[in-house]
Structure 1
């Protein structure tokens, strides 16, 4: 299939789902949220409401006089519901009256049964002063409130067979491996999830003339040997269907024609999974493979990825899970690996009623932050089951207009912040722009999914992940107050073992229509760091990510297709996190506290780092071996 044909086919079918909410059971009814409040603020309306027990998220409806009410969809996110209890509706017009309602949902594949009482707000009330609003951030460096959860240590990837490319594509294999090594070494990535390990380019399944089936895992071994050598373990996505086993081998996706059909014979699929697991254990040992995980299929709720029914997916899951556990009960299996946070309750209910193993739960979301699916798992006895978002990103559109911009940087940090509360892993999709699903890129900056470009230059999203990964382990008490606090401007404050203090602030919205920014949403930050030891002197720096900082695309002429050597040299020189010294605000600091004032555009990220360099006695402070930048 040509890249043009694959792209047309994919874009035609990607929004066709097997999920039907029209016949939803009355038992899924949730009450309406109460105490809905709407406050006009600069450039946005701040909404808040009380939580509803059992809700995974909340759908927001906005109405304007003379217009049909609309669901707030954040510029095209695949899930309109939000998990937060406070939200900034951005992109609103000044001097306009809007009416809002909010409804609770059990999940992304459930309807709103009951809406809250409507509330109206006049945005002229939030539009007055021409001065940029100030948001006050206060951090208590002496008060540790918890430990940081490193949810970003799983990442997505293009199919791993790229590691085996040779000939005139060997450079792709080398750069792809370097990208995986960089996210491991710099971001701390421990696990990678990718499609198509069972695809026919890996030559796993062969059928003889007599109808017998044999297996060959040589290419799979070569892939996993390289991956483990880098230091990353696989999340083994059991896909796609080998042609020798497929009910309909003509049903495919992507340029490489991954087969999306159920098996013709379920026993043959189960035998494959059994042989696969036995082979992996024989090669790497059960103590190693028990630290991997096996995810059943990819996005079976989308027609473009699965030609079977919901029931057939549940059977695929059950056959796979039972096969793996029969080989060794320590092997971890999970799913449903759905798009848009769907089918989670269906799989949990099936696992409960059929006594099917479910060691972890997976789904995907693009253009929004993950929902809280733990209430659904609780209803079926899976309270302690890990929840992994094995695909997540700022936008789901291949070659879309958003991936190379600074807009994704605060989005990444907002997702990591939400995940601290109800996810165990949030895997950004993907590590590298060496990505071939709909054809290889035709230019360097093509808005690819990757955190790293072809050539392994870091995009703004990469630098956001870098700042997250290089935080300390000890979470500090902090507060955020002012116009846009907690819904636009957010904060993460941590302390390292050597006393270094990191304060990450970001200013962002999930409304993708504002990817180029909105001056009304720019803010100034007044940061006060209290509880510092007056006997210690700090070296203080500010690192920035925005349109003008740590934005590699801005260093490349807009008409560039592929750089020449001279431009490559300039781009590599520019491939750095923008960091400079910052001094406390004069006259505003105290003996045990420091104040810093700085601008924070939307979209934008800023990290203030206070590194202890010397005590007042003149003794140098010890620097931990892993202290970055």
Structure 2
């Protein structure tokens, strides 16, 4: 293990300061229901006004003890809304559940107890039905996944050293961002390290030299994308403690020795960017203050120090151009959002968006916090940007390369449609240096794309989501695990109806799948014009859209040979399967498909 990785794993769980304690808990949910399913218990309850989420507790005795249910995602355990599927179960065992409402200070009191006993697998997969109403007026589908994507520091665009597996880092990194632009429709990129030594230097007279950043941004903007300007890390010359660093490239994460110099840096950067790229252009960018200051590994100060860091930066940016959007706290595990909003309220500090991160779960609903801020201040409600989100916060975790992560991605995006303005997946490419370069082709990297830009199952999930055409129409899911493991989205365009249905769980003990959770899904589309319909299907599962399976079959070592690269690139597709034409003489079409867990099916009905 490298020194950087060992240091990271030792410090990553340590908060830099105490979490916000909050001022009072919300009431517990009422009318909690537990339903026995095949290989699962499905929990449901009415929403609680003001809740950011809910923390499910479980016991094997009705008298407890009740402990938070850990689905092994490695981060926030609270879920944003019901229903919830507990798949960490043994069939035939009775489990008892209570749920707490989650607010900015953590969980409130527990609900009353409900119980259920999960069922064993039957001779055939359990059944689920998806009813799509194509006659309903279509409504816009918020493309929260297109607003932003995460990426390693943008200076990789000018990297001239040897790359992992003999790759050309700069060329592949640019190509990866282009793939995200063209195949997913991504518009902005959020990356660390605006103030790394290769991009910003401090001259002997104390002035700032942005020549390196100019070279990076020139190449980046030529891709037709816009940056999220993450105001980090601290230039060494400005650090109170220059030896407090993070990552293999030793980024400085110290408080400033002189707070006015921090303000000067942010102000001069803003002026420089406006002068070089145009004031109207830069006014469309987001400026995000720091990264995960609520973790000791990223910040050697307190929460109060971070709030000061934010205030100085926000006033510096707005002092140059009020139109530029600034926000934070860019925190880990949804922390400090309430604290930052309260600081901005009491000190009249500008804030245009709140940003935070979570992994291994769907993001919490932060709207109660932003709406409360707007009501109290009379100011515009800040946007909600999840500037990092993914299946795991753990580097080199095999779930990153697994099919399991594909329906996980769709669950999170669907969950976020109404509650966020952006859900930015971390990250686009396995060209990634934080704890050392990739040691092998499939090494558990965070990227949606491998070194060499092969598409992982998570990428195909995002591509299928992006392929939905038209406006959203209702897709009601019923049956065993409905809305908790099996979910769906449907859209209607002029001549087509698209249905995207997936089967997944948050439970990472099931990374390799679980046949007890496999389902047979019947999709029924009503409200169609009478006539014949062609049905085109694509799928992601162990046998489809799974580059790891192809690599295993090639019996590769760490990196492909030229012949293996050719085979891998030939398999880097998601073919369309044409199912039998169906007749919709009564305006209704039904299609039945097998849907393993994990798995995704897309169906496109086109009128003949």
TM-score interval (norm. to shorter): over 0.9
User: What residue number does 2:159 align with?
Assistant: 165
Structure 1 portions without partners, runs of 5+ = 615-629
User: What residue number does 2:485 align with?
Assistant: 488
TM-score by length of 1: 0.92
How many angstroms apart in 2 are the aligned matches of 1:527 and 1:596?
5
CA offsets 1:494-548 (integer angstroms, 9 cap, x no match):
123x42221000001111111111111100111111222225x433211000111
Structure 2 portions without partners, runs of 5+ = none
Where 2:248 maps in the other structure, the secondary structure is coil
How many angstroms apart in 2 are the aligned matches of 1:127 and 1:4?
45
User: What residue number does 1:326 align with?
Assistant: 319
CA offsets 1:408-431 (integer angstroms, 9 cap, x no match):
110111111011110000000000
The Cα of 1:146 is off from its aligned counterpart by: 1.4
Count of aligned pairs between the two proteins: 597
Correspondent of 1:547 among 516, 537, 542: 542
User: What residue number does 1:35 align with?
Assistant: 31
The Cα of 1:243 is off from its aligned counterpart by: 0.3
Correspondent of 2:281 among 285, 288, 295: 288
TM-score by length of 2: 0.95
User: What residue number does 2:499 align with?
Assistant: 503
How many angstroms apart in 1 are the aligned matches of 2:475 and 2:162?
53
How many angstroms apart in 2 are the aligned matches of 1:403 and 1:440?
16
User: What residue number does 1:430 align with?
Assistant: 427
User: What residue number does 2:530 align with?
Assistant: 534
Where 1:263 maps in the other structure, the secondary structure is coil
2:182 matches 1:185: yes
User: What residue number does 2:590 align with?
Assistant: 595
User: What residue number does 1:246 align with?
Assistant: 239
Correspondent of 2:510 among 488, 493, 514: 514
Correspondent of 1:390 among 360, 371, 387: 387
How many angstroms apart in 1 are the aligned matches of 2:135 and 2:56?
39
How many angstroms apart in 1 are the aligned matches of 2:419 and 2:245?
35
In the TM superposition, structure 1's runs of 4+ consecutive aligned residues that sit over 6 Å from their partners are none
How many angstroms apart in 2 are the aligned matches of 1:20 and 1:44?
36
What RMSD in Å do the two structures reach over aligned CA positions? 1.7
2:173 matches 1:176: yes
The Cα of 1:604 is off from its aligned counterpart by: 0.4
How many angstroms apart in 2 are the aligned matches of 1:541 and 1:342?
43
Q: 1:19/1:112 Cα in 2 relative to 1: closer, same or farther (>3 Å)?
A: farther
2:5 matches 1:7: yes
User: What residue number does 2:114 align with?
Assistant: 119
Question: Is the Cα contact below 8 Å between 2:17 and 2:302 reproduced in 1?
Answer: no
2:266 matches 1:269: no
User: What residue number does 1:56 align with?
Assistant: 52
The Cα of 1:77 is off from its aligned counterpart by: 3.1
2:369 matches 1:339: no
Q: 1:274/1:140 Cα in 2 relative to 1: closer, same or farther (>3 Å)?
A: same
How many angstroms apart in 1 are the aligned matches of 2:27 and 2:586?
51
CA offsets 1:338-390 (integer angstroms, 9 cap, x no match):
01001000001111110001101100000000000111122222673210100
Correspondent of 2:350 among 357, 367, 372: 357
Question: Is the Cα contact below 8 Å between 1:101 and 1:117 reproduced in 2?
Answer: yes
Question: Is the Cα contact below 8 Å between 1:584 and 1:594 reproduced in 2?
Answer: no
2:73 matches 1:79: no
Where 2:265 maps in the other structure, the secondary structure is helix
